């Protein structure tokens, strides 16, 4: 069921839609989740949509986007179908356990929720709310901070579906779990997927999260990701964003680390109209290890905004941030990193680095590497650079007979490589490396690898014919 009330501003529409569709929004959710929902709604009502007067939103104005007449899906329309028929991921030779979300709803070949032999559960959050209410109540919403983010509050109010992963104690999931998040709608659509990943004590998993759009229609995706790493757990989280120029993608990731746990997060933005990634890390106990990397390659009027907050709440933790960006044409890049070292978080090591290459005079970068430190026995450093390709390196390559264009390509690739190289799965690292290379040559579009091969020129309008699937 698609609903739109055209006359009201988006905030008021969402508030009235909430009550109108309350039964289907609530679905099989537990009482705990519904309590979260109400808190989220109240918080969103209080804060409203973020605006550029807010410190965190100074450089990212979403007001024009909110004018759009969005449609909303409060029930799953897609159900079971084979996603391979309409989409193959660009990282195709990767052996993964792959799951798909279409317009914010889980789609599946066999069952909405799979339980592997080793006890790992992968599947739809909506289904998990029915089958594993105790896990949901224990974790869902415990890391997210609706008080600090109106978008998180809004997502929390409308929690319905998304990806649920549970890895039991000591289990190592060998195959990466790949989530393909596809937006495909003939009309502007507003989606709010919610993902929850729980890695129990000593568990290990790799999550590859791909965001794609199949049409050039306007879409707004407000995603909230929560990842819990219990003591000794290790989670690798890769996010690859390759969206259409009319899409707006908001992702708030909340990473919660217990003792001796590790999280690697890697966000690669190749294309997107408006992309904002909030990463909020809490190092809750000793010897936590958070390694965050980001790469953004944007051109035309694309806008990418990376906001990182790391809360060192316990001693002896390590955090590292490396965000690199190449900005072409009139693209705009924003980076805001904040490290908070709390009073007793001694022996903290926290590093932060943001490097940007500007290729034109119209491109713009705003970077804010902030540190807030209340403990004395710490080593923290941050750095930011904005500049152009090193003229000495250029000269060196040119003097070796390499043409200017090729030399530039080489240097840009080397610049991006610092992030790509660190990807631990080799197949993924290579594929992403290739994608970055193609992207820098200007050959990668969102339609790459898409079986429909629609033309990039006009807005594509097509529907998935459900009867054929």
Partner 1 sequence: MEDKSNDLLEEVTGGEYKYGFYTDIEMDQAPKGLTEDTIRFISARKNEPEFMLDIRLKAFRHWKTLKEPRWAQVEYPPIDYQDIIYYSAPRKKEQLQSLEEVDPELLKTFEKLGIPLEEQKMLAGVAVDAVMDSESVATTFRSSLAEKGIIFCSFSEAIREHPELVQKYMGTVVPYTDNFFAALNTAVFSDGSFVYIPKGVRSPMELSTYFRINAANTGQFERTLIVAEEGSYVSYMEGCTAPIRDENQLHAAIVEIIAHKDAEVKYSTVQNWWPGDKDGKGGIYNFVTKRGICEGENSKISWTQVETGSAITWKYPSLILRGNNSTGEFYSVAVTNNHQQADTGTKMIHLGKNTRSTIISKGISAGHSNNSYRGLVKTTRKAENARNFSQCDSLLLGDKCGAHTFPYIEVGNRSSIVEHEATTSKISEDQLFYCLQRGIDMESAIGLIVNGYAKEVLSKLPMEFAVEAQKLLSISLEGSVG
Binding site for partner 1 (CB under 8 A): 55, 343-344, 346, 356, 358-388
**φ, ψ of residue 175 in degrees (nearest 5):** -75, 135
Using the minimum distance from each CB to partner 1, give the nearer residue, 77 or 385: 385
CB of 440 to partner 1, least distance (A): 16
**Greatest CA separation for the chain:** 70
CB of 391 to partner 1, least distance (A): 10
Beta strand 318-327 with 364-373 is unpaired
Using the minimum distance from each CB to partner 1, give the nearer residue, 374 or 395: 374
CB of 373 to partner 1, least distance (A): 5
Using the minimum distance from each CB to partner 1, give the nearer residue, 9 or 383: 383
Residue 181 near residue 209 (C-beta atoms within 8 A)? yes
CB of 58 to partner 1, least distance (A): 9
Using the minimum distance from each CB to partner 1, give the nearer residue, 88 or 360: 360
Radius of gyration of the CA atoms of the chain, in A: 21
CB of 323 to partner 1, least distance (A): 13
CB of 51 to partner 1, least distance (A): 16
Using the minimum distance from each CB to partner 1, give the nearer residue, 340 or 454: 340
CB of 368 to partner 1, least distance (A): 5
Using the minimum distance from each CB to partner 1, give the nearer residue, 246 or 353: 353
CA 246 to chain centre: 17
Using the minimum distance from each CB to partner 1, give the nearer residue, 116 or 384: 384
Residues 261, 319: Cα–Cα separation, whole Å: 12
């Amino acid at each position: 069921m698609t609903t739109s009330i055209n006359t009201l501003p988006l905030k008021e529409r969402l508030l009235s839609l909430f009550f109108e569709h309350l039964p289907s929004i609530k679905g099989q959710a537990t009482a705990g989740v519904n309590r979260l929902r109400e808190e989220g709604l109240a918080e969103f009502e209080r804060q409203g949509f973020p605006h550029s007067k807010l410190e965190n939103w100074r450089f990212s104005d979403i007001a024009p986007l909110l004018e759009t007449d969005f449609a909303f899906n409060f029930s799953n329309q897609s159900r079971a179908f084979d996603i391979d028929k309409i989409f193959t991921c660009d990282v195709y030779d990767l052996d993964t356990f792959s799951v798909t979300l279409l317009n914010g709803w889980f789609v599946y070949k066999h069952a909405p929720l799979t339980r592997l032999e080793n006890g790992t559960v992968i599947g739809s959050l909506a289904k998990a709310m029915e089958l594993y209410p105790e896990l949901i109540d224990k974790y869902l919403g415990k890391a997210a901070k609706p008080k600090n983010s109106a978008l998180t509050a809004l997502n929390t109010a409308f929690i319905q579906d998304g990806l649920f992963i549970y890895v039991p104690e000591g289990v190592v999931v060998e195959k990466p779990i790949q989530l393909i998040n596809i937006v495909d709608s003939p009309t502007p659509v507003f989606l709010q997927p919610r993902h929850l990943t729980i890695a129990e004590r000593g568990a290990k998993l790799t999550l590859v999260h791909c965001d794609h759009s199949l049409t050039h229609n306007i879409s707004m995706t407000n995603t909230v990701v929560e990842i819990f790493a219990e003591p000794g757990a290790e989670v690798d989280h890769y996010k690859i964003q390759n969206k259409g120029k009319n899409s707006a993608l908001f992702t708030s990731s909340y990473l919660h680390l217990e003792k001796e746990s590790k999280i690697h997060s890697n966000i690669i933005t190749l294309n997107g109209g408006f992309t904002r990634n909030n990463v909020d890390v809490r190092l809750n106990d000793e010897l936590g290890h958070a390694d965050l990397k980001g790469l953004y390659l944007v051109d035309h009027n694309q806008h990418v905004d990376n906001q990182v907050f790391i809360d060192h709440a316990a001693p002896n933790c390590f955090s590292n941030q490396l965000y690199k960006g190449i900005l072409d044409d009139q693209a705009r890049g924003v980076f805001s990193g904040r490290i908070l070292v709390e009073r007793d978080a001694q022996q903290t090591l926290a590093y932060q680095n943001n490097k940007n290459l500007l290729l034109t005079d119209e491109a713009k970068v705003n970077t804010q590497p902030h540190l807030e430190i209340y403990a004395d026995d710490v080593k923290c450093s941050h750095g930011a650079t904005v500049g152009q390709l090193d003229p000495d390196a250029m000269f060196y390559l040119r003097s070796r007979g390499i043409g200017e264009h090729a030399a530039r390509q080489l240097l840009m690739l080397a610049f991006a490589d610092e992030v790509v190289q660190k990807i631990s799965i080799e197949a993924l690292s290579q594929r992403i490396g290739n994608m970055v290379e193609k992207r820098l040559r200007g050959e990668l579009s969102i339609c790459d690898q898409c079986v429909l091969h629609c033309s990039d020129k006009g807005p594509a309008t097509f529907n998935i014919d459900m009867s054929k699937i």
